[in-house]
Amino acid sequence: MQGGERVAETSISTGREGHATPVGNFHVIRKDIDHRSSLYGEYVDAGGRVVMTNVDVRKNPRPPNAHYLGAPMPYFLEFSPGFGLHEGHRPGYPASHGCVRLSPWRARQFFNAAQIGTAVTIRN
């Protein structure tokens, strides 16, 4: 919305069961064009080969000789600590860990238009 008028809309994917997207009125608190998750991703070896996928660092111990690589979250607009809008896969149903996934084009568009403090409203 801009000036009370809708200027863009897009399909999204939100938080799946057990990982709800927070609902309410927020503001952009951080922008990171090349953000990576600090919780979800994969463990890879020194050659970059995946050793373990779908990792939650709080639950999955790091295998020997591997390092953590966070899931990419390009064009990240954080609106609440640990939650943001970003480019990502949108299968047509809630599938994220709580973030709002957008198409590549819309994520880039929203990232470029938003500033720290831009209002974000999440509704059911």
In angstroms, rounded to a whole number, what is the distance separating the alpha carbons of residues 16 and 52?
21
User: Do the domain assignments include residue 105?
Assistant: yes
Averaged pLDDT, 20-31:
97
Q: At residue 124, does pLDDT exceed 90?
A: no
Q: Which domain holds residue 96?
A: 24-35+72-122
pLDDT tens readout for residues 70-90: 999 999 999 999 999 999 999
User: Do the domain assignments include residue 58?
Assistant: no
Q: Which amino acid is at 2?
A: Q
The total domain count for the chain is 1
pLDDT tens readout for residues 49-70: 999 999 999 999 999 999 999 9
Please give the mean pLDDT across all residues of the chain.
Answer: 94
How does residue 107 score in pLDDT terms, banded at 50, 70 and 90? very high
User: Do the domain assignments include residue 78?
Assistant: yes
User: Do the domain assignments include residue 61?
Assistant: no
99: domain CATH number is 2.40.440.10
User: Do the domain assignments include residue 59?
Assistant: no
In angstroms, rounded to a whole number, what is the distance separating the alpha carbons of residues 77 and 110?
8
List Cβ<8 Å contacts ≥24 apart for 83-91. 83/21, 83/22, 84/30, 84/35, 85/110, 85/120, 86/35, 88/13, 89/13, 90/11, 90/12, 90/13, 91/13
